[in-house]
Amino acid sequence: MARRLFGTDGVRGLANSHPMTAEIALKLGAAAGRYFRSDGRNGHRVVIGKDTRRSGYMIENALTAGLTSTGMNVLLLGPVPTPAVGFLTRSMRADVGIMISASHNPYHDNGIKFFGPDGFKLSDEAETEIEAMLAGEIALAKPENIGSAKRIDDGLGRYVEYAKTTFPGRGTLAGLKVVVDCANGAAYRAAPEVLWELGAEVIQIGVKPDGFNINAGCGSTHPEACAKAVLEAGADLGISLDGDADRVMIVDETGTVADGDQLMALFAARWAEEGRLSDNTLVATVMSNLGLEHFLTGRGLRLERTPVGDRYVVEAMRKGGWNLGGEQSGHIVMTDYTTTGDGLIAGLQFLGELARTGRRASELVHSFDRVPQLLKNVRYGAGQEPLAAPQVQAVIAEQEARLTGSGRLLIRKSGTEPLVRVMAECTDEALLADVVGNIVAEIEARV
């Protein structure tokens, strides 16, 4: 069956428009409830978290109605980071976890992500089965078997306590001034609390959600807000999270932003020195910079590339038995600690290295020189398939040939938005700009 609802990271779209309507959420909840009730595990329990979007209330209520109609007992966590849902699904012995969030997208989007009882995101196969159930009649529970729903007040506290245990050693952040930008999103309470309890002087921004300001000019997609705060406060560093706190950007004391590639390079090298890096392998996506690959190979380490999406990184990690992976966008996955990307815990690992070495953040965030990279997005309309046009395919082949021996080209459709992403890397920046510009122009002519 062709998947129509699920993309690379659950179901996502414009709130109150298909597929992010209350009607679809109710049906999806019922289908998920029936799917996870089939084996009768754990008293049919589900935990639901959300970020701070206004539409989260609507989706939460609809999912709850669908789940309880098939006999699932719903535990509502309220606003918590996505990784907290993965953690609490396992901790609370739930059959399934659900996060309501569109991650780094603006407030007008929303999404639904599913986690299995092991705390990992569901496989493509499981999502396809759930989606297939929507086409048929979903068996409802008998009146005496309808599920219950209740709020869980200590879920956030449980996650805060766990996050602190991942801080390396028994150290403290005393003496460090840290800016944390929570993107007016799901970590607006958890992240400042963890940093403060570990002893840091904390400057908080992006911690006043109003339902509409999530990711608006702040967070990991707008790290300039964090950089500005770092410079104004004379802070040692900044930690910039996205709306659901599963990704992070680090800002050093000079206001320079380090992406996920630089963080993965730092962690991989350190873990390899300690003998902790499984099979001396780091997992990253095809978007990660060639400079990262050169850095790793120069140290006898290996880079395993996957399709774009942290779920594919995690799947590869689990299959290969590897324990460190992530994305350039700031998803850092450390399966020694978490089941999905966790921006806060990744930030704590960086802080641990800062405390251990006594070095400045600016000395730690630059492990390698990036190969010049250029990414441009082209938005297309409903029903359009611009990459299928023969003229576009011909231009792509022509431009790719120009990069042979000096770079690489990656063109793909986004799994979460109607965008074609055109990315190229090349040591010759003039050639790089020309190649990307030619491809983008041809695609734009077809949309």
Tell me which residues are annotated as active site. Answer: 103
Specify whether the CB–CB gap between 31 and 133 falls below 8 A: yes
As to burial, measured by CB atoms within 10 angstroms (0-12 exposed, 13-18 middle, 19+ buried), residue 147 is buried
What are residue 251's DSSP bridge partners? 238, 257
Nearest Cα neighbor of 343 from 353, 334, 355 is 334
Which residues, 6 or more positions from 446, have their beta carbon under 8 angstroms from its beta carbon? 384, 386, 389, 391, 392
Of 403, 343, 341, 346, residue with least CA distance to 373: 403
Choose among 247, 261, 263: nearest CA to 215. 247
Q: Are 69 and 143 in contact (CB under 8 A)?
A: no
Q: What is the DSSP letter of 121?
A: B
Residue pair 248/194 in contact (Cβ under 8 Å)? The answer is no
Q: Identify whether 19 is preceded by a cis peptide bond (ω within 30 of 0).
A: yes
CA–CA dist 59, 62 (Å, integer) = 5
- CB burial readout 354-391, b (16+ within 10 A) else e: bbeeeeebeebbebbeebbbbebebebeeeeebbebee
Residues counted in the chain: 447
